[in-house]
Every structure is written in structure tokens, then in C-alpha cells.
Chain A
């Protein structure tokens, strides 16, 4: 591994003070990707900024309006082990609890997963489906973007120089809604998604009709794809509609053929995963909470 400097700032202001000094900079949250990338020579830096000593990056909690605010460097396990998160946002728990093995989840963060911007990142489709917003900070202030606006290409996020991802905000979920995230991997653990689907289904008060579907697909395009599902609104929440949603997913997918999966396989899988995730979401939406 190439040599680099390590800095562990205690505040956001201190983080920003280390930026713009001409050094190639990388950020360390859980390190489960960046340490490996540095070791394998896939990324290079002069300084590595450890974000885990900045309090606001490491905590999570619900605000009074029901928004879940998650510090970008908080470990996944702390989020999915939170009983309140489990109760209110099972669709987020789906994703957070299947990124890597338990060892990885002790360290890896949603922020890291988002910033790595892998098209196969598990948290991104789930967060998009939930309508999450991302708080981006810099020395000159902060801005917010929708989760779907963040990825810019394979391995590329839309942070500008001097910016870091500070917080993930998951808004309170609509009444009569349910969300789910599913991925397909060849094994049952230790794999990168071949295809994935995050959904949120909002039903009419009597559960008979679909009011809204948010559907995000992973590993079938250069970035996670948010599918236009306007045509599903007003339809019955049944197998026929879900099949249509699956077809919409297949049509929206723009997969590549690589060592992890083929084009036709991925198109087929996003359809299957969409249907299955919608079934889970429907169950969650109609369960008494």
C-alpha cells in the first residue's frame, strides 16, 4: 500500500479545514471499501480523513416530524439494530442488513455505500425508493439533493471539490405504504448484487388501489435507475399490476454483460425482484402497525 497521512478531525469545520490544500484526499468511514481499494492500488491518496470522530456523522435518530436522520459515517449495524428503525423502515433494514457479512456491517456506512457509487450498491435503491434526501456539506454551507440525484456514473458521485456527504434523511413514510429491497446474488452471502430492486408502494386508504410506486433498480445500468412508474397509479395492488411493474423494470434496465451477470439474465432478474419486492411491500403496507 502506498504511504499516506491520516487525519482524524473532531468536527465538520475541522474536516473542511483539511480540504483544498492540494493533497489527494480520500475519506475513511467504515473503510471496508476504501482500505481495500488503497491496498490494491485502485485508488490513491496523500491524506485519508477519518470521519468517525465527527459526532454528527456518527449518530442517527428520528426528528419530531418522523424523519430519520443518519450520520453518513454511522455503521450499518447501529442503524438496522435500532428497534424503531426496524419498526418504521423495514425497507431500509432490508438493504442495511445484507451489505456484506456481520463484520462488514459493524463498520460499513450508508454514506460510504452511496459515495462509492457502485451501480450495484445495496443501500442506494432502497434509499431512492424511500425518497431519501442527502445533506451535502462544505466550508461554505450545505445543500440537499434527492438520493437519485447523487450517483453520477459507475464509481462516480456528484460531490464537488470541498464537499462531503454529511447526512442521509429518510422522510416519514406515507400512510398505507410499505417498502422492500431485494437483490439477487449467486450465493446467499458475500456477493455483489447481480440485480436488485427497491420499492415503495403507497396504497389508497382502503388498500384497494395503488396511489404511488417508487421503484429503483440496481446493477442494471451505469447508476441505480429510478423507474418511471406513473402508469401504475390507480391500478389494483394485485399480481397483474405487479407483473406489469416487473415488465416496466425489465424495460427500464440497461444492463451490461460482465463476469457477474448477463444482459438477459439481469433483465429477467429485475422483473422477478420487482414483483417479489412489491409483494413484500404490499404485505408491509397492509399489516397493522
Chain B
């Protein structure tokens, strides 16, 4: 659906087959675990059985003697790491903490924390040897819940940790609260005093995992000349290289990271776990070493997203949202760096609300260090805001979408960080939801209910580099460095085809290794189609300029007298002078050599994305089980480059949100042991748990991109948690404030059990 007048495109908006598609449907595509190098051996990792313990000693001698074992490594095999913060991926990372997370140094901080690793001729032999490593632990009390960890008498993960606050204040006492930030404007207390209605609630969400189907893997070859090559599954080869360089103290140029096809990431594959271990094992053995995680290791040893506690007080007056006061506490896991800041900064974005006061706490607990997960921090925060807003509208007797429309943020509205929105599509998205066939149809039948919720995600820009090499037959090799998780080779090739007015099929995109293309930041923050797309556009314009110059040379005219139009070069002064793209490409050798368009940029002007979701549910009052009957996701995508993959991103995000809302959680016992580290008991939705997901694509072009692209992938996971909670409240009359809304929790609430 075109919401705003936009140019007529020839390639953008079509649905071509992705360039990497045939390889993937025939099983030929090479993922990280498919790498096989001559002489390759296998590594396995020993992990902590305790959630919190001091390592007194590690005895690896028996393991080293186990037949078939070639090397054993521990933290001592990593170079000493500095206590400083670097930008090494999507976020800033403390190098010492990153290194301690790779292989534990003095303490283990969560069950599953890597302690040692073995390389052997077969993975089975490596595993046998792990059993022979003796670790002497002094077990310490563990704390696994964010509110428990904030208590003054809580066990401390790090005695030296002090709370840092905005403005550089540091607490006197050690604490598990790593940081406290506040966002504030207006006068919330005055607004509460004069409000028509006020709602105050507490919400909790559990840690959840990205759940990518491909486990982490890394194959490293430490070569005789001191160069290191790593084949890995990552959202950002350059981020892996930077982290390896810091952890191993090895120059960037001597590390080559080869990004293999990636089997899902959703933010979780922006951090390294195995790569440095494979590197040191390879250095020690002189053999290429492959490490892969099993599923339990993925759950227990990689970064999920935070469990959260959120308290919110919201007020409305005259049918608008007027004030919000909120406290957010997010579990960072073993080391600081949760996504609480993003939660705080996005939770009010759908609204033009004058008075707010948001306190955000980043808290360490004895669980895996959290990593990014799709719109990191935003879904839990939106769960609180959108549930509270729903309750306000119920109390006021106002339609929940009309209320949102009345309170909607628009161009010029200030976000909580004080920055004014550029052109955004929040109102258009709400209008499309209000007018959707779904919302206009009645919801009927017992135990059924409808819920709506909105959400926002910033989307990112960051750095991208591409080159577009024009071949003599007019085909083009597009070399880029952004991991393609879900079709970006297609969306980038399409933008180049549009820019050059050439057929999509003539462009062959390749995701290159770190030796072969300029720096590219991670595929994260929904940035690739936007930022690498911007680079592709610039590279295409570079090609056009060069081709105009070549044509001018051939025709002996001034380059200003040559225009590039519809894939052809024309002389404005002489209508007989015309060359097609491929005709001129054929003459590149004669006119000055290869034509290669380049662009390297730091993309500014990322356009934020808004989504509003509508969901109908049925709750079985006898079992507490919720069935999703119908789901419609409305989203402003800017411009849908490849609409099928845009829809796919939205549908995938929604279904992850359904899982989060209804069944997914990290279940822990009191000692800090995860009880459900398998796909059997960590319940991601199956085909039978979801209906078809309807999408309504709204297009309000982003002024910061030549084709109007906004990021697409993240915001669809923001509204589902609240939308489903609101639907369940509508169906049952009971408001659920704790996730997941599992059958057990719903049944216990509805029947007053336990």
C-alpha cells in the first residue's frame, strides 16, 4: 500500500528470486559448520556447572594425555586483556570482560560459562577429554533475578563494581547495579494530579533467546606466517575481526574473517564466543580447529536478551496520554550492558507525551551475558507501556486505536532523549490499522478477545563499504560486506539495478571476507538494506559518473553533455550519440580501464519504524491455553524494496513475539541452573502454533535515503507481547503482567489456583 506519493520504480517493489536462493534450497550453501579444511581437528568446550564460583585451580594434565588429544587451553592461554571499553560490534564492550567471557579467568559467573577447551582428532575424543579436566571450584551464592540482584545484601558478581549514573557519578558501595540513567521532561506529578485516569502496574518478563536454528560455530587456521583465518557464522565479520584483534592482541590486517552463510542471528551473532578459542587451539596445534556448540551450549553459553522488571504509572486526560513515570530494571547477565537504555528510549516513541520520568537500571546477575535480540530492549518496555495504555483506554471507554491516534507522535515530536522526529509514519500506520479489514470486522464467540499495541524501533545507520565492478559484458559484481541473513543480497542488488536502470539479473552480489572489502558494521539495527543500500546507491552513482566520462571521451564531448538515463548514455547535444550500458562496458578497456564504482560511508539519516498490531485470541478457560486466531501486523517500512522479504521479516518478528508472549522463557532453579536448555522445553512456536500472519505494509519514505528505505526487521517484535496480553485481557477479563502468559500461568490466574 502506497501511503505517500512515491516515484515509479522499475526494480524496487518487485519480487525477484534471491541470488543465493538456489544454493540454499539445494543444500549447497556453505554455512559455518560445513567448513572442512585439510588436517582439520575438532574442539569442545568445558563449561561451568555452577552459576557462581571462584576457580581455585584447573588441572588439565590428564586431559592432555588422553589419546587423540592435541591441545588443551584455559584463560591463561589468552593474552592479558586491558580493562577498557571499545566499540566492537553493535555496542561498546569492556575488553577484559569480553575476554573473561570467552574463557573464565578467576570466577565463573553463570552456569555454562566456558572454562577450558580441548582439541582432538574427533569431537567425541575431545568430549571424552573434557571429562578428565579437574576444576576446583569454590561455589558462591548466586543471584538470578534482577530485583534480587539489586538488593543491598545480594551476592556480588564483582566486588569492584560501582553504579555509574548519568553525569559521571559513581556510587560509594559495590553493587550489581552497573548503571542508572534517567530521562525526564515536564512535571509528571502535576500531570498525574490533574489526570482523568491513572494506571499503575508492575510488569516482568523472563530472559528469552533469539533461538536461531544454527548453533554458533568457528573454524580457525593459525597459519605459519602468523596470519589467522577464521570461518564463522556471524552478523558482522569485521566485528569478529575487531574482537579477535582485541582478545588475541593481534593486528587487524593479519586476521581474515570469512563470513559463511549464517543460520539466523537476530542480534545474537554479533558477539564472539568460539572464535578466539578456535584460534588459540589452532595456534597451539598448528592445525585448523573447528568448534561448534550444541543446543544446550547455545542456550547456556551465549547471550539471550534480558529478563526485566518494569514499573509504570501512566495518565490520560481529554483522551490523550499525558504523563508516564517508569522504572526499568534489566538483567545484563554476567557482565554489564543490557538493552535497558534502548527500552527506555523507545517505550514512549509512539506518543506525543509531555511529562515523563524514566529511570533505567542495568543490573548484573548470574546468567549468561545478554546480547542483542531484535529491537533490543524495546519489546519488554512496550509490553509495559502498551498494556498500561490499553488499561487507560478501557477505563476511559475509548477505542484503543483512536486513543493512540489522538496521542500519536509525528514529525517534530521529541523523543525522550530530546531529539525531534524527522518524517515518520506513525499516524499513517495507525490509520491503516484502524481501516484494516481485520479491525473493521467484529470479534465474536465465547472466550475470545482482540488486542492492539504499537511499537517503535530507531533503526541504525553505521558504516558500510561496497564496490560495484562493471564487467566487459555489462554484468556487474557487487562486493559487499554485510552478512545476508534474510535476503539483503537481493535488496542491495535491486537498489543497484534501480540506480543503474539495468536488469536485476545482471548483478551478482557477493558478501566478501574482511580482506576483500572495506569495513562494514554488523548486520544489525535493521541497517543493511538502509545503510549498505545507501552505499550501493552511491557506488551506482559513481559508476554512472564514470560511464558518463567514458562516453564523453568516446564522443569527444564535455562530460556535462552526457546524461545517464534508463540504462543508456546519451549526448544532450547530439541525439545520434547513444550507447547502452553494456555497449559502453565493452569499451571500458579502450576508454581508460576497468569501471569500478565505490562507496564507503557512515550512514546518517536512518528512519525510525513504527508498527501497530491487531490480534484475536481464544483462551481455553479449562486449560489456560491461548490460541492465536488471527494476526495483522501494520508497519511503516519506508519503501519496500523486496516486498516478499519485507513481509517475511514482519511475519518472522511477529511469530517470535508470539513465542515470547505465550511460552518462551529461561526457567531456572534456585541454584542458577537452567532447566529447559533444549528446543523440547524452550518452546518456540511450531507450524501448528500460529496462523497465517497478515501484513499491511505502509510506505512513508525515509527522507534520509534516496529510495526512502527504513529498517524493517526489528520493530515487528515490539508490539506482540502487549497486543496478545491486551487480547487475553479482552477475552478473559484478567490482565496479565508477567510473561510468558503460559497455559499454567493463565489457568492459575483464571481459576485462582495456588
B685 within 8 A of A: yes
Within 8 A of A (CB), among B269-312: 296
User: A259-B667, A261-B744, A272-B622 are contacts. A187–B689 as well, Cβ < 8 Å?
Assistant: yes
- Quick check: A190 and B686 within 8 Å, CB to CB? yes
Q: Which residues of B contact A190 (CB under 8 A)?
A: 679-680, 683, 686
* Chain B neighbourhood of A187, CB < 8 A: 663, 683, 685-686, 688-689
Q: Classify the interface of chain B: helix, strand, loop or mixed.
A: loop
* Interface core residue of A186, A259, A262 (most chain B CB under 10 Å): A186
Across the interface, do B686 and A260 meet the contact criterion of CB distance under 8 Å?
A: no
A2 to B124, CA, bound (A): 7
Given contacts A187-B663, A268-B747, A268-B753, A260 and B688 within 8 Å (CB-CB): no
User: Could you tell me if B744 and A265 are in contact, using CB atoms closer than 8 angstroms?
Assistant: yes
Chain A residues lying within 8 Å of B663, measured Cβ to Cβ, are 186-187
Complex interface residues of chain A between 171 and 190 (CB less than 8 A to chain B): 184, 186-190
Q: A186-B663, A259-B676 are in contact. Are A264 and B689 (CB under 8 A)?
A: no
- Checking B623, B681, B686 against A188 with a beta-carbon cut-off of 8 angstroms, the contacting residue is B686
**B253 close to chain A: CB less than 8 A:** no
Say if the beta carbon of B675 comes within 8 Å of chain A. Answer: yes
Q: Which residue of B lies closest to A192 (CB)?
A: B680
Q: In the bound complex, what is the Cα–Cα distance between A2 and B123 (angstroms)?
A: 11
Chain B nearest CB from A101 CB (Å) reads 8
Q: Which of A1, A192, A263, A268 contacts B127 (CB 8 A)?
A: A1
Is B742 on the interface with A (CB-CB < 8 A)?
A: yes
Given that A184-B623, A189-B688 are contacting pairs, would A268 and B751 also be in contact in the complex, using a CB cutoff of 8 Å? yes
Answer yes or no: A3 CB below 8 A from chain B CBs.
yes
Q: Is the CB of A262 within 8 A of B751?
A: no
Distance, CA A34 to CA B128, complexed state (A): 19
Q: Does B748 contact A (CB under 8 A)?
A: yes
A: number of interface residues (CB 8 Å): 23
Interface string of B351-388 (1 = CB under 8 A from A): 00000000000000000000000000000000000000
> Are the C-beta atoms of A188 and B124 separated by less than 8 Å?
no
Q: How far is the CB of A204 from chain B (nearest CB, A)?
A: 29
**What string of 1s and 0s marks CB contacts (under 8 Å) between B737-751 and chain A?**
000001110011001
Are A265 and B675 within 8 A (Cβ)? no
B753 neighbours in A (Cβ, 8 Å): 262, 264-265, 268
Bound CA–CA A186/B127 (angstroms):
34
B132 proximity list for chain A (CB < 8 A) = none
Task: Mark interface residues in B716-750 (1 if CB within 8 Å of A CB, else 0).
Answer: 00000000000000000000000000111001100
Are B747 and A265 in contact, CB atoms less than 8 angstroms apart? yes
Q: Tell me the A191-210 residues at the B interface (CB within 8 Å).
A: 191-192, 194
A 245-278 contacts with B by CB, 8 A: 259-265, 268-269, 272
Contact of B688 among A188, A259, A261 (CB under 8 A): A188
Whether the Cβ atoms of B754 and A191 lie closer than 8 Å is no
For the complex, count residues of B whose C-beta is within 8 A of A. Answer: 30
Q: Any chain A CB within 8 A of the CB of B625?
A: yes
Most buried by A among B676, B687, B747: B747
**Min C-beta distance of A33 to chain B, whole Å:** 11
- Give per-residue flags for B120-131: 1 if the beta carbon is below 8 A from chain A beta carbons, else 0: 000010011000
Of the candidates A184, A189, A260, A268, the one whose C-beta lies within 8 Å of that of B681 is A260
**A1 vs B126: C-alpha distance when bound (angstroms):** 10
Whole-angstrom distance between the alpha carbons of A238 and B484 in the complex? 60
CB pair B680 A191 closer than 8 Å:
yes
A189 close to B686 (CB less than 8 A): yes
| Closest partner residue, chain A, to B674 (CB atom) | A259
Which chain A residue lies CB-closest to B622? A272
Contacts of A262 in B (CB 8 A): 744, 748, 753-754
Smallest distance from the beta carbon of B129 to chain A beta carbons, Å?
12
Inter-chain contacts of B296 with A (CB < 8 A): 40
Residues of B within 8 A of A2 (CB): 128
B623 contact set on A, CB distance < 8 A? 184, 269, 272
> In whole angstroms, what is the CA distance A265 to B753 when docked?
7
Q: From A40, which residue of chain B is reached at the shortest CB distance?
A: B296
For A261, what are the chain B residues with a Cβ–Cβ distance below 8 Å? 744
A111 smallest CB distance to B (angstroms): 21
Chain B, residue nearest A265 (CB) = B744
- Bound Cα distance from A263 to B747, whole angstroms: 12
- Residue of B with least CB distance to A263: B754
Knowing A2-B128, A192-B680, A259-B667 are in contact, say whether A186-B748 is a contact too (CB < 8 A): no
In angstroms, Cα B742 to Cα A1, docked, is 35
Q: CA–CA, A128 to B101, complex, Å?
A: 51
* B662: A residues at CB distance < 8 A: 186
- Of residues 1 through 15 on chain A, the ones whose CB sits less than 8 Å from some CB of chain B are 1-3
Closest to B659 in A: A187
Residues of B contacting A186 in the complex (Cβ-Cβ under 8 angstroms): 625, 662-663, 683, 742-744
Kindly state the separation between the CA atoms of A30 and B683 in the bound complex, as whole angstroms. Answer: 24
A259 and B675 alpha carbons, distance in the complex (Å): 7
From residue A160, how far is it (CB to closest CB) to chain B in Å?
Answer: 31
A184 contact from B128, B743, B751, Cβ within 8 A: B743
- Distance (whole angstroms) from the CB of B746 to the closest CB of chain A: 10
With A186-B683, A265-B748: A1-B124 Cβ-Cβ less than 8 Å: yes
Closest chain B residue, CB of each to CB of A2: B128
Question: Which chain A residue has the least Cβ–Cβ distance from B676?
Answer: A259
Assembly CA distance A92 to B726 (angstroms)? 40
Cα(A188)–Cα(B658), bound, Å = 14
- When distances are taken between beta carbons in the complex, the residues of chain A under 8 Å from B127 are 1
Closest chain A CB from B298 CB (angstroms): 14
Contact of A259 among B681, B685, B686 (CB under 8 A): B681
> Which 9 A-B pairs rank lowest in CB-CB distance, beginning with the nearest?
A264-B753, A188-B688, A259-B675, A272-B622, A189-B686, A264-B754, A189-B688, A265-B744, A259-B667
- Given A265-B743, A272-B622, 5 new contacts (CB under 8 A): A187-B689, A191-B680, A194-B743, A194-B744, A262-B754
Q: Can you list 14 A-B pairs, Cβ within 8 angstroms, ordered by A?
A: A1-B127, A2-B128, A186-B625, A186-B683, A186-B743, A187-B688, A187-B689, A188-B688, A190-B679, A192-B680, A194-B743, A262-B748, A265-B624, A265-B747
